[in-house]
Amino acid sequence: MAQYSAYPSYVTTGCDWFPRIPEHWILDRAKWAVMSCQNGVWGSEPDGDDDLVCIRVADFDRQSLTISTTNLTMRSIAYKDRNTRLLKNGDLLIEKSGGGDQQLVGAVVEYNQDFPAVSSNFVARMEVNDNTDSRFLVYLHAHLYSGRVNYRSIKQTTGIQNLDSSAYLNERIAYPPLDEQKAIARFLDHKTAQIDALIAKKQSLLDKLAEQRTALISQAVTKGLDPSVPLKDSGVDWLGEIPAHWMMTKLRFVINDIEQGWSPQCHNQSADEDQWGVLKVGCVNGEEFNPNENKALPEDLEPRQRYEIKPGDILVSRANTKELLGSAALVKTIQKKLLLCDKLYRIKPSEKVDSSYLLRFLRSSIARYQYEKDATGTSGSMQNIGQDTIKNLSLPLPPLPEQISIAKTLQHEYTKGLVVETKIKSVIHRLQEYRSTLITNAVTGKIDVRGYCIPTTTEQREVAHG
């Protein structure tokens, strides 16, 4: 990583999060730069006459520190609110309230769009004075946010965390002169864009590996591992052909039982080893079953022990978001006293099917197609799959020895892929850490970037080619 020089001289401030700053910087209250935080407005259901885009916390892109336009919401906004709260390009938006997630409160992004919009009632517009560069302030808040500097200004009531504007504006923050703020912002725009491009490339590799794994599993559970075997029509239009020696069946004919569990009101923390716990639906979201995804059963409730999970159980998510609906995991060795919740199905395979093979099928795109086809619920929200959908899954079934061979091969390929993915994720993590450190060092004056010159396209090309 590149090395940057420090400023010639510093002064000690006595402020915990800005202990030393360049001697020509000032340490003042946040209100020196941010004159006010104006609350947004939610409006009412869109009616086609007074509709405007309403920026929500969900629209904050914390990577680019701007607004994401992926899934914007329209609201009907009264004229007086349109007149006084209309956003303009370059405005700063801060999240003032967060539903049960303190790690969101205090995040700041720049409104970088040209279309008319207002902010929601959980998002405030910050008015910045003429001595402050907005983009510098965005990066400064990225540092403050990552370090939870504003925690003293966060008030919590009934599970909602709220940012106290008055307390927040009285926090002390360090500022360089305006031209230096702009130089720091230009430097960070350039460097973070470079880092983000590298992260995007690494993420693209992860996506390709995931696609390859999905394709391999689908191929293995529909065509097997030997491409030379004769094929026959499966009898299922959307499935096509399967190996001639395989059979088509329904899941109901290869399982002994399927049931959903029990979801009483539980404590928020996980159960200790000597406590009973009820599984959360997230226990099946990963490659392996996660027994730590549970909630402790209150001591005054008698556990329904018939729902205690056992090694060999296959658990399937019956109610979840569209992306996670049908997530499945095989229970291996686990701690005792864990109960099945009612958002999970427990499947007990019969001797006709290998558990690991069945798990791979249930997690394949072939099974997912059938889940999504029959799922109930509003798109984008919680969806459900009924027991009949699970029981009636069309299942290509090879002979048992071949099932075991396929499952072992897929596990071997997964293990190989995991090594590669772990290395890529490690690189992404280091890049993200470097990005965060670079922002912190620049906005707190630990490095002097005033003389940094952004390379031209030609210079960048020459460096890339040595």
Same domain, 437 and 371: no
What is the residue range of 419's domain? 1-10+177-227+399-466
Please say whether the beta carbons of 207 and 54 come within 8 A. Answer: no
Residue with tokens 């686990």: 334
Final residue before a domain boundary, out of 379, 397, 415: 397
Q: Tell me, yes or no, whether 456 and 339 share the same domain.
A: no
Tokens 């007990």 sit at which residue?
A: 348
99 and 57 in contact (C-beta within 8 Å)?
A: no
Total number of domains constituting the chain: 3
Q: At which residue do the structure tokens 């892109």 appear? A: 61
Say if residue 70 is in the same domain as residue 128: yes
Contact present, 379 and 313 (Cβ < 8 Å): no
Domain co-membership, 293 together with 342 = yes
Q: Which of 373, 397, 421 is the last residue of a domain?
A: 397
CA distance 237 to 248: 13
Evaluate whether residue 19 is within a structural domain. no
Residues 390 and 419 both lie in one domain: no
Instruction: Compute the distance between CA of residue 266 and CA of residue 376 in angstroms, rounded to an integer.
Output: 27
CATH code of the domain in which 427 resides: 1.10.287.1120
For β-strands 277-279 and 338-339, DSSP reports them as parallel
The owner of tokens 């916390």 is: 57
Q: What is the CATH number of the domain that holds 139?
A: 3.90.220.20
Q: What is the rounded end-to-end Cα distance, in angstroms, of the chain?
A: 17
User: pLDDT 10s digit of each residue in the chain, 466 long?
Assistant: 468 999 999 999 988 889 999 999 999 998 989 888 888 998 899 988 889 999 998 899 988 899 999 889 999 998 888 888 899 888 999 988 875 444 557 889 999 998 999 999 889 999 899 999 999 999 998 888 765 555 567 766 556 777 888 888 888 899 999 999 999 999 999 999 999 999 999 999 999 999 999 999 999 999 999 999 999 999 999 999 999 999 999 999 999 999 999 989 888 888 888 899 999 999 999 889 999 999 999 988 999 999 999 999 999 999 888 888 889 999 997 778 999 999 999 999 999 999 999 999 999 999 999 998 888 876 556 788 999 999 999 999 999 999 999 999 999 999 999 999 999 999 999 999 999 999 999 999 999 999 999 887 655 545 444 4
For the entire predicted model, the pTM comes to 0.82
Question: Could you identify the residue written with the tokens 């983009």?
Answer: 135
Residue 319 domain flag = yes
Using CB atoms within 10 Å of the CB of residue 303, give its burial: 0 to 12 exposed, 13 to 18 middle, 19+ buried.
middle
Same domain (yes/no): 79, 217: no
Residue 242 resides in a domain: no
Task: Measure CA 153 to chain center.
Answer: 26
Whether 358 and 437 share a structural domain: no
In a domain, 239, yes or no: no
Tokens of 156: 């919590």
Same domain, 59 and 198: no
